[in-house]
Amino acid sequence: MTMHKTGPVSVDAMIEDLRTLVETESPSRDLAALTESAKVVAEVIESRLGGQAVLVESEAGPHVHWSGGGDPAVLILGHHDTVFPLGTLERRPFMVQGGHATGPGVFDMLGGLVQAVHGLATLDDRSGVEILVTADEEVGSRSSRALIEARALACGAVLVVEGAGEGGALKTGRKGCGTFQVSVTGRASHAGLEPAAGVNALTEAAHQVLDIAALARPDRGTTVTPTVASAGTLDNVVPAEATVVVDVRVESADEKERVESAFAALAPHLDEAQIAVTGAVSRPPMPESASAELFALAKTLLPGIGGTAVGGGSDGNFTAALGVPTLDGLGAVGGGAHADHEYLVVDAMAERANLVAGLVRARQGGRAEADETA
């Protein structure tokens, strides 16, 4: 494999590539946009690292996979889908001003991808390194999970280039998260003439919301939050149907099991009402023990860097649940994920790129030592 010329990271070059990625809009589930985005991501990787970035087709859009050759030793994990609909770029174009880069996806997580690629470009030896950039992280990673898990197990260590925590902290733990939907079926009737002849799905849904909210255990780090509800058709009709959507976050596998069992056991309060529950805690918790080894290494490379456990999930949840050492939050320093004020701190880009490179170099050295003593 031909390796491109190495050298110190260039912030100007990183900004150039970041602009290219941001200006290729990539909303989740938009297959045409994601196909174009995957091609651009592959071109950026190949232009900086050489070799071939392979597009892995899926029902959610193409994932991008690159390998530096040799025995797998470390997986750089990210995604190229974003939460912003087409047209956001026109309203909020890419800009660099006042030390911040702004635009849809700069922090979550295109900046992290660029930093990782440019960090790797400083290494003379890129053997054992793999990059996987998926197309569906923002919508649950259903099409990419098996590939993520397979490459993580093969590599034995995962560096997730999601945006950093507050103050640039690495993300050493994440809650497991999932979405449930409770569907209520009642019976319609005239709200004025025969209200008692109906079975009010909205009233039943109100009972369910209270039961569901009571499942939270803040002392255990478990949040159970009803977030979206819908019911009814007309103001004079007893509603025959209602739905409630619920966001769930848990810190432990025990809580995952408890909450899932509780949702399965939900029962109607009104005679003749029926309920159906779908969903699960689809991303298992990422315990801080999964990041301990890599976080300790990061602190030797960048003394003073902090670590934090967060409520949001990432694809690192999947790899950590397999027992693969996983360190998250290695991407951009900034904030405003999923919001109009999303930003990336330009002055931190080189430091973060070099941190990724240092972790990869250490992982390569550790694998070599293990091979010599085997």
- Rounded (10°) CA dihedral 80, 108, 73, 54: 10
Pull the structure tokens for residue 87. 């047209």
Which of 371, 360, 362 is CA-nearest to residue 49? 360
Q: What are residue 286's DSSP bridge partners?
A: 174
CATH 1.20.120.80 describes domain 11-175+286-373: no
What does the alpha-carbon distance between residue 360 and residue 20 come to, in Å, rounded to a whole number?
25
- Scanning the chain, the segments in alpha helix (DSSP H) are 11-22, 31-49, 88-91, 111-120, 145-155, 201-213, 253-264, 292-301, 316-321, 349-373
3-class DSSP state of 220: helix
Q: Taking each helix axis as running N to C, give the angle between helix 111-120 and helix 11-22, from 0 to 180 degrees, rounded to the nearest 10.
A: 140
- Contact residues for 296 (Cβ-Cβ < 8 A; gap 6+): none
CA-based nearest residue to 26, from 18, 36, 16: 36
CATH 3.40.50.410 for domain 176-283: no
Q: Cβ of 227: how many Cβ atoms within 10 Å?
A: 9
Residue from 44, 317, 339, 350 nearest 162 by CA: 317
Cα–Cα separations (whole angstroms), residue 204 to 197, 209, 210: 15, 9, 10
What's the longest Cα–Cα distance across the chain? 85
Per-residue pLDDT of the chain (374 residues; tens, 9 = 90+): 334 556 799 999 999 999 999 999 999 999 999 999 999 999 999 999 999 999 999 999 999 999 999 999 999 999 999 999 999 999 999 999 999 999 999 999 999 999 999 999 999 999 999 999 999 999 999 999 999 999 999 999 999 999 999 999 999 999 999 999 999 999 999 999 999 999 999 999 999 999 999 999 999 999 999 999 999 999 999 999 999 999 999 999 999 999 999 999 999 999 999 999 999 999 999 999 999 999 999 999 999 999 999 999 999 999 999 999 999 999 999 999 999 999 999 999 999 999 999 999 999 987 656 555 54
Say if pTM beats, i.e. exceeds, 0.85. Answer: yes
Q: Which residues are annotated as catalytic? A: 81, 137
Q: Please state whether beta strands 307-310 and 170-174 pair in parallel, antiparallel, or not at all (unpaired).
A: parallel
Domains 11-175+286-373 and 176-283 share a fold: no
Residues β-bridged to residue 53: 66
Alpha helices in 50-110 (DSSP H): 88-91
Domain ranges for the chain, please list them. 11-175+286-373, 176-283
Give the DSSP H or E segment for 92: none
The Cα–Cα gap between 261 and 111 comes to: 39
